[in-house]
Amino acid sequence: MVTRIFIFSLILVVGGAASISCSEDIPDCPSRMCIVAGGWQLTEVYVDNVKDNSDLSQFRLFLTMPSPTTATTSVFSRVQPSGNTDDGSWSLENNETILRLLPDNDPAFMEDWIIESMTPRKMVLIINRDTGIKAGPSKIEFILEPF
């Protein structure tokens, strides 16, 4: 009898934990844009695989949910670590592996960020630079979390 009660209790606990962990309200989403949309704060930066210890606390990137959800572009706004702000449009490109930002909606300012990994709780973006053309780091890795 004690064994049956233990097994029944165990089933209730495991079943309850599974229903809680799978109960996130995720809207119908035809693309990754719905997962990327929202507010993101910069938590870490690595420059050529070395952690940058600058104050990142002001950086915020807000990617507006596309409307309708089938749209391929939407708008963004951001606050840089310096406190300067800008906005423009954003999209996912190259089979949803690139986050493209167009500040001021001007193609001359286009930023392509490689999406190394992405979940609703963490996004890792990479910028690879051709140091043969322009001096500076060759790889910058950005780790963002929702705010």
pLDDT digits (tens, 9 = 90+) for 57-80: 999 999 999 999 889 999 999 999
Q: Considering the domain boundaries, does residue 88 fall inside one?
A: yes
Average pLDDT over residues 83-95: 96
Q: Considering the domain boundaries, does residue 87 fall inside one?
A: yes
pLDDT at position 4 over 50: no
pLDDT in tens, 18-38: 344 344 445 566 788 988 999
User: In the chain, how many domains are there?
Assistant: 1
Q: Tokens representing 19?
A: 């229903």
pLDDT for 131 equals 81
pLDDT for 5 equals 46
Q: Considering the domain boundaries, does residue 11 fall inside one?
A: no
pLDDT for 18 equals 39
pLDDT for 27 equals 54
Q: Considering the domain boundaries, does residue 95 fall inside one?
A: yes
User: Domain containing 83 — which CATH number?
Assistant: 2.40.128.280
pLDDT at position 92 over 90: yes
Query: In sequence order, what E strands does 31-135 have?
Result: 38-47, 50-51, 60-63, 73-79, 85-93, 98-103, 111-119, 122-128
Quote the distance between the C-alpha of residue 99 and its chain's center: 9
Q: Between 73 and 129, where is the model more confident?
A: 73
pLDDT at position 111 over 80: yes
For 19, the enclosing helix (H) or strand (E) is helix 2-21
pTM metric for this prediction: 0.76
Domain limits for position 101 = 26-146
Average pLDDT over residues 46-60: 94
Q: Considering the domain boundaries, does residue 66 fall inside one?
A: yes
**Mean pLDDT value across the chain:** 84
